[in-house]
Amino acid sequence: MPEVNVILLLLLVLAALWTVMTRSLLRSAIGLAITSAVLSVLMFQLQSPLAAVFELSVCTGLISVVFISTISLTQPLTGEQIMRHMKTRLKRFWFLPVILLLAGLLLKSIKAPVAFAPLPVEMEKDVRSVLWSIRHLDIVGQVFILLAGSFGVRILFREKEQK
Amino acid sequence: MNSAAGTTFWFYGSAAVMLFIAGFFCVLATRNLIRTLIGIELLMKAVTLLLAASGYISAHTVLVQALVITMIVIEVVAIAVAAGIVIGVHRQHGTLDTRKLRNLKG
């Protein structure tokens, strides 16, 4: 495996940890955007360019804008409230990093029974043909979800009527 | 099992597990609704990474890309609607603290 992929994976995990541990909500949203950007680069490395472009444009761009808009429309906690909550949070959930370490050790010890070898990437099929012919039911589902989402956003973001 | 494929998958699998645990920690260890959404987003990133790695190793990148694109579309709609709900909750109650949202408490 190329060293650049290992570095990218490390960056991904560090960005995710910073997203979780940072005090400020805005920095958390920015950390999420950085995590998405690094994941997008990793997907390019994993021969998934179309998915990588989607991840970069939608998750890094659009979802970050949604989060930052939501943060700006709602009032954040004061600095004192954040500090108090951060201190109690680490005390209450100290065991979660322990679970992380145990999960890593367990993964290392598991010997997967499946035998497979990396094959060259298939070039004859196009993602569009898979989406429109094999996974056409997914497209129908996506259309309905997009419709439901647009109605939901229209109703939820509506300003209250002045009486 | 081919050792090169196994090593490759181990790296990506470990990173996905770490992302998953970070996402779960973010969801569980917060009372802020926006941070909960960020945690859910991290869980989705973990699944995306695992899917992409599986597709690369099994040479089904085309199918996996179609699945990831479907997942991203659903993810963005869910987050947009959830953000609208968060804003509605804030307008109604003036807070995003989950401990103070007790209207439906029996």
ipTM: 0.89
Reported as a single tens digit per residue, the pLDDT across A2-57 is 788 888 999 999 999 999 988 888 899 999 999 999 999 999 988 888 899 989 98
Reported as a single tens digit per residue, the pLDDT across A52-106 is 998 998 888 889 888 988 888 886 656 676 677 667 766 777 777 787 778 777 7
Residue numbers in A near B54 (CB within 8 A): none
A28: tokens are 């958390």
- Interatomic CA distance for residues B82 and B74, integer angstroms: 12
Terminal-to-terminal C-alpha distance of chain A: 64
Residue numbers in A near B91 (CB within 8 A): 160
- Interatomic CA distance for residues B13 and B46, integer angstroms: 9
User: Closest approach of chain B CAs to the CA of A56, in angstroms?
Assistant: 11
Out of A17, A35, A152, whose CB is closest to B84?
A: A152
A115: closest chain B residue by CA: B1
- Interatomic CA distance for residues B14 and A158, integer angstroms: 43
Out of B14, B24, B64, whose CB is closest to A107?
A: B14
Rg, chain B, Cα only = 18
